Amino acid sequence: MQFEEQVEAALADLPPEFARALENVAVVIEEQNPDEPDLFGWYDGLGPGRDHAGALPDRIVIYRRPLERAFSDPEELRREIRVTVLHEVGHFFGLDEQRIDELGYG
């Protein structure tokens, strides 16, 4: 399964109510973060229920290179892509790092 397909599969596994909330969120794959090359993912936005007038769309970025460097085993890579997607979705819903870690997506 290709990297993009794994990201799509992680999103497809979300409960319908979460998936609906993400309808206007851009989920993109980039090679790596130029400022933090070891970063797996990033959420940038205001989150649900906030006034987005004049704001850029919310965005979740999954970084390919650091994930592929850190996880050479295909099954581990698949699992970590899923964890990273869920981690960033957690940020979209307003969860902080501590709560995301408690849920096992840190």
Confidence of residue 43 (pLDDT cuts 50, 70, 90): very high
Mean pLDDT of 6-33: 93
pLDDT given at position 46: 81
Is the pTM higher than 0.85? The answer reads yes
pLDDT given at position 52: 65
CB 62 within 8 A of CB 89: no
Query: Percent of the chain scored above 70 by pLDDT?
Result: 96
- DSSP readout, 89-106? HHHHTT--HHHHHHTT--
Those residues with Cβ within 8 angstroms of residue 34's Cβ, 6 or more apart along the chain or in another chain: none
Q: Tell me the per-residue pLDDT of 66-105, one tens digit each, with 9 for 90 and over.
A: 999 999 999 999 999 999 999 999 999 998 889 988 888 7
